[in-house]
Copies of this chain bind each other. A is one copy, B any other.
Amino acid sequence: MLMRHAIGSVLRRLRTERGATLRELSERSRISVPYLSEIERGRKEASSEILAALCRVLDVTERELLSEVVAEFARVEVLSLLPDRVHAASAVDVAEEHAASAVPHAVLLAA
Size of interface on A: residues with Cβ below 8 Å to B: 22
Query: How close is A71's CB to chain B, nearest CB, in angstroms?
Result: 9
Q: Does A74 contact B (CB under 8 A)?
A: yes
User: Which applies to chain A's interface (DSSP): helix, strand, loop or mixed?
Assistant: helix
Q: Which of B45, B48, B67 makes the CB contact (< 8 A) with A2?
A: B48
Interface residues of A in 70-106 (CB under 8 A from B): 70, 73-74, 77
Copies per complex? 2
Q: Which of B52, B73, B74 makes the CB contact (< 8 A) with A3?
A: B52
Contacts of A45 in B (CB 8 A): 45, 47-48
Contacts of A67 in B (CB 8 A): 70
With A45-B45, A45-B47, A47-B45 known as contacts, the answer to whether A63 contacts B52 (CB < 8 A) is no
